[in-house]
Structure 1
């Protein structure tokens, strides 16, 4: 196809061609107009905000649970926006497990890699923001994002650019840190390495997890109100220049769902699904962070699995989505299958769909520890009195290591170093007891605290965006005033 434009008029005509597959296929978003109408009309009548809880990944279902339940109790209108970037049954069971399906107003159906997901979010949220503005121009709609998913980063600018309303970031201020001793990883004995993590100097190291550290940092910049899990997170936000009056420490967002699942038994026990887990004490191992899927690190992790199994450790390795691709790419799948066939102390499973099963196992006598690169699991193990071993060079929950001492970093330098640390923890009963008895860091009634603060902001007439003259307290605008642009 020949293209003519102003370039040709300036520099002469030349034949150029459109690249193939330039524009990816984009699925349409779907909306529940009746549900949207009822929430928006309620907000208009009662002069309240509408909270838009934006769900990104599998953990979002249970991390948002407390806030959604308390919003409903408080009579605050809300919408659930599901990105639907994870769309198979293994990753979306939370919709049913936490009774969120019937409350979901928008399904974004985003697909593709990080760049495509980001672009789709911008386009689809622009449409949604405009639709709500056109139908209900006086109603403030505030997106609520949490943690460090790609939605956490992209939703705030998409919404702000479209409506001049900034977001709320829950679980704000997650900034990765590393102990200084990490520079000697693999060069010293396990006991000394652990001691320096617990008692030595730490520093910021925000390279990983990627893109999660980028996501959470960008999200804070695009959000008006910030809710931090701990005082350390608040200090990070203050250092970065966020206004103190817009930051609250409310605790860990996983707490409410965790407490719910401690009281509820799943319909079918995880030990019925995997009877093998009833034999002895197991390490539940899940790896999915991109940094750990790089060649040397992933080879070290898979090698450590083999060595731990050979040494008699009971290992349950969970195949996460990214892990599945890495196993196929590096050709390790058949090795792990063979390891499982030959050894009763190795269980190779898919993702456990229900959060209830994860909690049931972690609480049981058959769980020795978690070996993970997840952020949320580091919090969960602190709350469930079990040792956490974090397979990373840094952590965005450093308080679990240098404050609570319920967590130990296990950097995948090589397979032997991973084995040495795991073996040391396994053999040191006093260390296990102290990790299990660690102080709990993440509070209680998190959703109730969050919604109580939001209710106060609504009652005080606060808005999720301020011009400089408003931030300085000089005067407030009665209306946006820029509709003509």
Structure 2
């Protein structure tokens, strides 16, 4: 009898994380395993770069269904996803619902699954920022409180779960599936149009990304942050793929610098080409800190906290904080050539997805799915 796994993805980073799991499931199926999956896109984030090329680049099939639950407030979107996913799961029952990361879809689909008595597995379980002002932190806490199987990226995440009363029997330290995707596709990175347009040179430009509400919704803070970066960037180009949320604020501010290049969001392979060749990355994204650390690119996180401490203790990441004044000394250290080198992060080796699917196979054998 085939076991059925419903895989949930709602935002672009989710697809990066589930792609290698899908590849591994396809591999074991080709070897005779009786596990099938159904890929559900909640539609939480619409991204034109995911409409075709994104799936081709990651070599994953188009979702079996798109619930089209985009837009609206957190409450409205959560409710919409729950209503539509309930219909989906009732029509296509599963033995296990697999959720990844910390977006609204992760939390909403975990709740629906448990209400329908379907077990839940959480990829990236146990990570914590301890900042309840972040919607993602609330999503993590709720999801982990109703998860059955916890797949973690670090020993810190393991400790967080154990401190919350989770039995070690249900915690599986497997590594980071986002790094699986990065290492698999790294040979295929290619330059975006901006590379040739500006005649960019490796190690002579920086990449900037900003999207968190605390950084971009307050116009004065966003302007001060960009001013501080440009004032201390040694006049090298700053490439800024602009999140739709940030674009609206930038248009109101009418920020203009000769060395600041605001461009549309890039495809997965193009963006990581820019990161791999950059002097440094400045970001408020958690996932980018992971990718930069593995590529040994200096990274500055423009936040007061991080749910990925291993990128700081072992990686190339530094927690700058949200006060733009603090940017100057970090950039000074960068240009003096004094940035730390990354170290090997345990189990961030490209094999996390195999470990995850191996657990699924063991659970299937014990009929515990």
Normalised TM-score (structure 1): 0.70
> Cα deviation per residue 1:262-300 (whole Å; 9 max; x = unaligned)?
12244x655655444237611100000122124253233
The CA deviation at 1:301 is 1.4
- Match among 289, 301, 304 for residue 212 of structure 2: 289
Separation in 2, partners of 1:356, 1:59: 13
Separation in 2, partners of 1:56, 1:49: 23
> Do the aligned residues in 1 keep the contact of 2:180 with 2:349 (CA within 8 Å)?
no
> Do the aligned residues in 2 keep the contact of 1:61 with 1:94 (CA within 8 Å)?
no
* 2:321 counterpart SS class: coil
Separation in 2, partners of 1:273, 1:55: 34
The CA deviation at 1:222 is 2.0
> Do the aligned residues in 2 keep the contact of 1:256 with 1:445 (CA within 8 Å)?
yes
Say yes or no: does 1:235 pair with 2:165. Answer: no
> Cα deviation per residue 1:4-60 (whole Å; 9 max; x = unaligned)?
xxxxxxxxxxxxxxxxxxxxxxxxxxxxxxxxxxxxxxxxxxx23211111111112
Gap regions ≥5 residues in structure 1: 1-46, 134-139, 177-204, 464-485
Say yes or no: does 1:128 pair with 2:88. Answer: yes
- Match among 102, 114, 126 for residue 148 of structure 1: 102
> Cα deviation per residue 1:49-93 (whole Å; 9 max; x = unaligned)?
211111111112221111000011112200110112333413444
Say yes or no: does 1:335 pair with 2:255. Answer: yes
- After superposition, the Cα gap between the structure-2 partners of 1:273 and 1:169, relative to the gap in structure 1 and judged at 3 Å, is farther
- Match among 121, 128, 132 for residue 207 of structure 1: 132
Say yes or no: does 1:347 pair with 2:261. Answer: yes
> Cα deviation per residue 1:189-232 (whole Å; 9 max; x = unaligned)?
xxxxxxxxxxxxxxxx3235x11111111111121101000111
The CA deviation at 1:152 is 1.1
**Correspondence for 1:411:** 321
Say yes or no: does 1:248 pair with 2:172. Answer: yes
Separation in 2, partners of 1:124, 1:405: 40
The CA deviation at 1:391 is 0.6
**Correspondence for 2:49:** 90
> Do the aligned residues in 2 keep the contact of 1:145 with 1:168 (CA within 8 Å)?
yes
Q: Which of 1 and 2 has greater Rg?
A: 1
* 1:461 counterpart SS class: coil
Separation in 1, partners of 2:217, 2:262: 21
- After superposition, the Cα gap between the structure-2 partners of 1:220 and 1:279, relative to the gap in structure 1 and judged at 3 Å, is closer
> Cα deviation per residue 1:157-180 (whole Å; 9 max; x = unaligned)?
11211x20131100111101xxxx
Separation in 2, partners of 1:269, 1:313: 18
Say yes or no: does 1:361 pair with 2:274. Answer: yes
The CA deviation at 1:361 is 2.2
- After superposition, the Cα gap between the structure-2 partners of 1:408 and 1:357, relative to the gap in structure 1 and judged at 3 Å, is same
- After superposition, the Cα gap between the structure-2 partners of 1:168 and 1:279, relative to the gap in structure 1 and judged at 3 Å, is closer
- Match among 381, 403, 424 for residue 292 of structure 2: 381
* 2:261 counterpart SS class: strand
- After superposition, the Cα gap between the structure-2 partners of 1:304 and 1:165, relative to the gap in structure 1 and judged at 3 Å, is same
The CA deviation at 1:363 is 2.3
CA RMSD of the aligned region, Å?
A: 2.0
* 1:173 counterpart SS class: coil
> Do the aligned residues in 1 keep the contact of 2:177 with 2:350 (CA within 8 Å)?
no
> Do the aligned residues in 1 keep the contact of 2:315 with 2:345 (CA within 8 Å)?
no
The CA deviation at 1:99 is 3.2
> Cα deviation per residue 1:107-158 (whole Å; 9 max; x = unaligned)?
100122222211111111111122234xxxxxx4311111111111111111
- Match among 244, 257, 260 for residue 321 of structure 1: 244
Say yes or no: does 1:170 pair with 2:123. Answer: yes
